[in-house]
Chain A
Amino acid sequence: MSKTTTGTDLPPAPDDVDTEAGPEADADSAAERLSTAPVESDGPTGIGVLGWARWMWRQLTSMRVALILLFLLSLAAIPGSLIPQNGQGSQNAMKVVSWKAQHTTLAPVYEKLQLFDVYSSVWFSAIYILLFVSLAGCIVPRTWQFVGVLRARPPAAPSNLTRMPVYAAWRTDADADAVNAAAHRLLRKRGFRAHLSGGSVAAEKGYLREVGNLAFHLSLFALLGGFAWASLASGTAGKLMVEGEGYSNTITQLDDFSGTRFYTTDDLDPFYLKLDSFTARFQSTGAQVGAARQFTANVEYSAGSDPTQTKTAKIEVNHPLEIGGSKIYLIGHGFAPVVTVRNGKGEVVYQGATPFLPQDANQTSTGVVKVSDYGIGPDGKKTQLGFSGSFLPTAPDSFAGTGPISLFPDDAAPMLVLNVYAGDLGNNSGRPQNIYQLDTKNMTQLQQDDKPAAARLKPGQVWELPSGYGTLTFDGYKRFASFNVSHRPGNEIALAGGVLAILGLIGSLFLQRRRIWVRAVALPGGGTQVELAGLARSESAKIAEELAELAVDLQDDAPAAEESDEPDEADATVEPDDTVEPDETDDPEAPSAPSDPTPADQNSKE
Chain B
Amino acid sequence: MHLASAVDPQLADLSNKLIYSAMVVYTLAMFAHMIEWTFGSKGAVAVRSKEQAGSLADTVAAAGPKGVKKVTVTVAGAGGGTTTLTRTAVAGEGATVVTSGRGADEVDGPGAAGTSERADLAGRIAVSLTVLGLLLHGGGIVSRGLSVSRWPWGNMYEFSCAFAFSMTAAYLVLLAARKNVRWLGLPVVVAVLLTLGIATTTLYTDSDQLVPALHSPWLAIHVSTAIFCGGAFYAAFIATLLYLGKDSFEKRIAAGLTTGPLGTSASIWRRLPAASTFDKLSYRINALVFPLWTFTITAGAIWAEAAWGKYWEWDPKETWSFVTWVAYACYLHARATAGWKGRKAAYLALAAFACWLFNYYGVNIFVTGKHSYAGI
**A316 CB contacts on chain B under 8 angstroms:** 212, 215
- Residue A317, interface by CB 8 Å: yes
Most buried by A among B211, B212, B332: B212
**A286 CB contacts on chain B under 8 angstroms:** 4, 7, 206, 208
- Cα A320 to Cα B60 with chains together (Å): 68
4 A-B pairs with the lowest CB-CB distances in the bound complex, closest first:
A548-B87, A600-B72, A74-B326, A551-B71
Please state if B2 and A291 are interface contacts (CB–CB under 8 Å). Answer: no
- Residue B65, interface by CB 8 Å: yes
Known: A37-B337, A318-B216, A551-B87. A491 touches B311 (CB 8 A): yes
Please, which residue of chain A has its CB at the minimum distance from the CB of B68? A567
Most buried by B among A63, A509, A569, A570: A509
**B312 CB contacts on chain A under 8 angstroms:** 227
Q: Out of A81, A501, A506, which one reaches B316, CB within 8 Å?
A: A81
Please state if B208 and A71 are interface contacts (CB–CB under 8 Å). Answer: no
Please, which residue of chain A has its CB at the minimum distance from the CB of B301? A498
- Residue B89, interface by CB 8 Å: yes
Q: Out of B72, B74, B302, B307, which one reaches A317, CB within 8 Å?
A: B307
Chain A interface size, as a band, is 35 or more
- Cα A497 to Cα B172 with chains together (Å): 36
Please state if A505 and B290 are interface contacts (CB–CB under 8 Å). Answer: yes
- Residue B20, interface by CB 8 Å: no
- Cα A67 to Cα B331 with chains together (Å): 9
Please state if A545 and B98 are interface contacts (CB–CB under 8 Å). Answer: yes
Known: A67-B330, A545-B98, A601-B70. A539 touches B280 (CB 8 A): yes
**B208 CB contacts on chain A under 8 angstroms:** 283, 286-288, 291
Interface string of B308-336 (1 = CB under 8 A from A): 11111111100110110011011011111
Q: Out of A64, A165, A329, A568, which one reaches B75, CB within 8 Å?
A: A165
Report B360-376 residues with CB < 8 Å from chain A CB: 363, 367, 369, 374-375
- Cα A88 to Cα B309 with chains together (Å): 12
Known: A539-B283, A548-B98, A552-B89. A573 touches B72 (CB 8 A): yes
Q: Out of A67, A85, A505, which one reaches B334, CB within 8 Å?
A: A67
**B326 CB contacts on chain A under 8 angstroms:** 70-71, 73-74, 77
- Cα A168 to Cα B83 with chains together (Å): 12
Please state if A293 and B310 are interface contacts (CB–CB under 8 Å). Answer: no
Please, which residue of chain B has its CB at the minimum distance from the CB of A138? B337
Which residue numbers of A lie inside 8 Å of B, CB to CB? Answer: 27, 35, 37, 63-64, 66-67, 70-71, 73-74, 77-78, 80-82, 85, 88, 118-119, 164-168, 170, 227, 236, 281-288, 291-295, 316-320, 327, 329, 331, 484, 486, 488, 491, 494-495, 498-499, 501-502, 505-506, 509-510, 538-539, 541, 544-545, 547-549, 551-552, 555-556, 559-560, 562, 565, 567-571, 573-577, 600-601
- Residue B209, interface by CB 8 Å: yes
Please state if B82 and A545 are interface contacts (CB–CB under 8 Å). Answer: no
Please, which residue of chain A has its CB at the minimum distance from the CB of B317? A81
Which residue numbers of B lie inside 8 Å of A, CB to CB? Answer: 1-4, 7, 53, 56-57, 60-61, 65, 68-76, 78, 80, 82, 84-89, 96, 98, 101, 205-206, 208-213, 215-216, 218, 280, 283, 287-288, 290-291, 294-295, 298, 301-303, 305-316, 319-320, 322-323, 326-327, 329-330, 332-338, 355, 363, 367, 369, 374-375
A sample of 4 more A-B contacts (CB under 8 A), given A283-B209, A329-B309, A502-B295, is A77-B314, A81-B316, A318-B216, A505-B290
Known: A283-B209, A548-B85, A562-B65. A574 touches B74 (CB 8 A): yes
Q: Out of B80, B283, B291, which one reaches A506, CB within 8 Å?
A: B291
**A170 CB contacts on chain B under 8 angstroms:** 71
Most buried by B among A63, A64, A291, A494: A291
**B88 CB contacts on chain A under 8 angstroms:** 568
Please, which residue of chain B has its CB at the minimum distance from the CB of A574? B74
Q: How far is the CB of B38 from chain A (nearest CB, A)?
A: 34
Q: How far is the CB of A489 from chain B (nearest CB, A)?
A: 12
Q: Out of B71, B212, B334, which one reaches A168, CB within 8 Å?
A: B71
Q: How far is the CB of A507 from chain B (nearest CB, A)?
A: 10
Please state if A567 and B308 are interface contacts (CB–CB under 8 Å). Answer: no
Known: A292-B212, A545-B85. A77 touches B4 (CB 8 A): no
**B60 CB contacts on chain A under 8 angstroms:** 567-568
**B216 CB contacts on chain A under 8 angstroms:** 318
Please state if B74 and A166 are interface contacts (CB–CB under 8 Å). Answer: yes
- Cα A559 to Cα B26 with chains together (Å): 55
**B302 CB contacts on chain A under 8 angstroms:** 495
**B78 CB contacts on chain A under 8 angstroms:** 538
Q: Out of A293, A295, A562, which one reaches B3, CB within 8 Å?
A: A293
Q: Out of B209, B303, B306, which one reaches A320, CB within 8 Å?
A: B306
Q: How far is the CB of A404 from chain B (nearest CB, A)?
A: 25
**B369 CB contacts on chain A under 8 angstroms:** 81
Please state if A552 and B314 are interface contacts (CB–CB under 8 Å). Answer: no
